Chains A and B, each alone.
Chain A
Amino acid sequence: MRAPTLLLVLATAGFAAACGGKPKPEQPAPEPAPAATPAPTPAPVDNSAEQRRADSLAAANAAAERIKAVAADLAAMINFDYDQAVIRQNDQSTLDRKASILAANPNVKVQISGHADERGSDEYNLALGNRRAAAAKRYLENKGIDPSRMDVVSYGEERPLNQGHDEAAYAQNRRDEFTITSGGDNLVAPQ
């Protein structure tokens, strides 16, 4: 248990936001009057306030980075084999991480969109994309996530990530995307 790293009750990053989240005593105090007298040789100042400010800035930046990382983990795509909607073995850890994040952030809701490569019929690919999105939702539901927090849509082959027409492009385009639809402003990292 490393408690300090868990104090990530912070919004979208930025120093102001970080400070707003800190307890009052840490609020930087207004500069005392002596600072107004300029001198060629700077008078020795009490740098503990400065240090605290730097520390809190660093902490806020680190927190912002961690939030970004959490958001990125939640948004990480998963891919599928051709004409398949089965969650691959190596995507299970990706989804497990999402389950942990969603469990740690009960107000977060996500939309899962399924996509297909350009092969196959337009209409079938819509159904296939839906099946892929539904498969991820089912996986997360089995990990204890309330299904009402996950919305399923399908774009079929309409929104390719890679415009190419080869297997590498197809492999990229067969995917689920995860988008936070609400509650994403105060992400916390799971323990």
Chain B
Amino acid sequence: MTRPFGSAMLLAGSLAALATRGAAQDTTHAVDQGVRVGFDYAPGTQPGLVVLPASGLDSARAIVERDLDYSDRFQIVQIGSASGVGGRGGSESGGISYGIYKALGAEFGVELTAAAGGGVTVRLHNVTAGKVQNQQNFSLPAPADASYRLEVHRIADEVARWATGTPGVAASRVLFVSGGRVYVMDSDGEAITPLTPADQTSLSPAWSPDGQRFAYTVLGGGRGGVTVQTLGGGAALQVPGTNTGLNITPAFSPDGRFLAYAHSDENGTDIYLANIADRCCAQRLTVGRYADNLSPTFSPDGRRLAFVSTRAGPPQIYVMAADGTDQELLAPFDYGATGASNAPEWSPDGANVVFHREVSGSPQLFLVDVASRRVRQLTSSGRNEDPTWAPDGRHITFVSDRSGARQLWVIDIETGRVRQLKSPGAARLPAWSRRLSRTAVAP
């Protein structure tokens, strides 16, 4: 990796205070907080990227820059908008001073300019090649509009796709429970909105694949039904078969037509599959005979379900066909030694199931590789539980008490970077949506 080291050193004096690694303040890792000029590519390859000052588009620019930072696919070269470094002025292709950005370690420059009709023109400059690599106009509602942030997130995701071939995951949302209410927020922890009433105890929120609906349990008097609610103040319906006993841990099938959930009564807790598309029929998938089976999670092809079972004693992670056949252990454990394992969620790429497992009395995140059944531990400090996958299959939101209260954090399993998501008070049971389309309704 050759870098224009000499010119960077010359510039360092004037730019040092402005060029810092965007991640530094959010990471719990011992990342140096000092001057960064973008040479350090470890771990993995993260091309340097600078988001140019965007006159009149400051809020959109800030969102895009943070989204690209949170994608963990770039080293963000931060510059202040008043630095005088940004903007045009050079004579190189696109009118951008590629030399300066190259010296800062940026391989990419993202430029937002206001377009006619209220939209925005987005250009991805390939600084190394010295040219505009991609350019597209996006329509953008006014910042006060409920869909504004989602549309800006979609710009960031598209820029990530231009630069890396894989779209980002900024245009997604996270459900979570705090104080018995289900809330939704943007993937960057902003725009927190309650979705369920304050006077009811709600649990176990789960997204529909299209991000238009969510399922959750409403607890009361030691029982609970599963409700499917449409966002944007839409209809709520109770899932067939959940009007008696305790019904928890709902999960949508990838086609959105079925809902798997655990039903508890005097015969134990077992997994059922309800046809919510036709609002009929709940089919029983497990027969626990007083052992518990719960927390179903579909493989992305919809053909299998991972779940928790106490059939061997402490809860562990199992897998079965979606019709309930071929039940077997998924995550190996040593009987009598391995701690309780819970909260599985199948990754969007199908390769892994993430879950939490007790280690010395504290839950930690683990992955089990579905093909090899190899288990890998992801966290080790504090309590870390209730993991949920981002649409990219590399980020995971989870609950951790590493800051004191139980809050939501995000780990990138490729770089190991951990950062905190905002949440009001104690938060638990997060659920990350798939990528949201333009038609996704505002909460």
Residues of chain A touching chain B, judged by Cβ–Cβ distance below 8 Å, are: 83, 111, 113, 119-124, 126-128, 130-131, 133-135, 137-138, 147, 152-155, 158
Contact = CB atoms under 8 A, between A and B. Distances in A.
B389 to A, nearest CB: 17
A120 B340 contact: yes
A126 B248 contact: yes
Nearest to A119: B361
A121 to B, nearest CB: 4
B266 A124 contact: no
Interface stretch (B103-111, B288-296, B297-305): B288-296
Interface stretch (B78-86, B215-223, B318-326, B369-377): B215-223
B342 A128 contact: no
A122 to B, nearest CB: 6
Given A126-B246, A130-B268, 5 more contacts: A122-B429, A123-B429, A124-B343, A127-B294, A131-B310
B28 interface: no
B164 to A, nearest CB: 35
A121 B363 contact: yes
Contacts, number: 81
A124 B222 contact: no
B292 A121 contact: no
A127 B428 contact: no
26 contacts: A119-B361, A120-B342, A120-B358, A121-B342, A121-B343, A121-B356, A121-B363, A122-B429, A123-B203, A123-B248, A123-B249, A124-B292, A124-B294, A124-B315, A126-B246, A127-B264, A127-B294, A127-B310, A130-B246, A130-B292, A131-B269, A133-B266, A135-B290, A153-B246, A154-B222, A154-B246
B40 interface: no
A134 B223 CA distance: 14
Contacts of A113: 222
Contacts of B308: 124
B246 A124 contact: no
B271 to A, nearest CB: 11
Interface string B332-362: 0000000010110000000000001010010
A147 B267 CA distance: 12
A119 B249 CA distance: 18
Contact of A158 (B204, B219, B294): B219
Contacts of A119: 361
Which among B203, B222, B223, B262 has the greatest number of chain A C-beta atoms within 10 A? B222
B189 interface: no
B334 to A, nearest CB: 16
In the complex, the 5 A-B pairs of residues with the closest C-beta atoms, listed nearest first = A153-B222, A130-B264, A127-B269, A127-B292, A121-B342
Say whether chain B's binding surface is mostly helix, strand, loop, or mixed: strand
Interface residues of B, number: 36
Contacts of B292: 124, 127-128, 130-131
Contact of A83 (B262, B267, B340): B340
A120 B340 CA distance: 8
Contacts of A120: 340, 342, 358
Nearest to B362: A119
Interface in B227-257: 246, 248-249
Contacts of B356: 121
Contacts of A123: 203-204, 248-249, 262, 294-295, 342-343, 429
A153 B223 contact: yes
B314 interface: yes
Contacts of B221: 153
Contacts of B248: 123, 126-127
B251 to A, nearest CB: 12
Which among A126, A127, A131, A147 has the greatest number of chain B C-beta atoms within 10 A? A127
A126 B266 contact: no
A126 B429 contact: no
Nearest to A128: B292
Contacts of B386: 121
Nearest to B385: A121
Contacts of B315: 124
A137 B292 CA distance: 16
B352 to A, nearest CB: 19
Contact of A152 (B265, B310, B358, B361): B265
Contacts of B340: 83, 120, 124
Contact of B266 (A83, A137, A158): A137
Contacts of B219: 158
A105 B255 CA distance: 53
Contacts of A153: 221-223, 246
Contacts of B135: none
Nearest to A124: B342
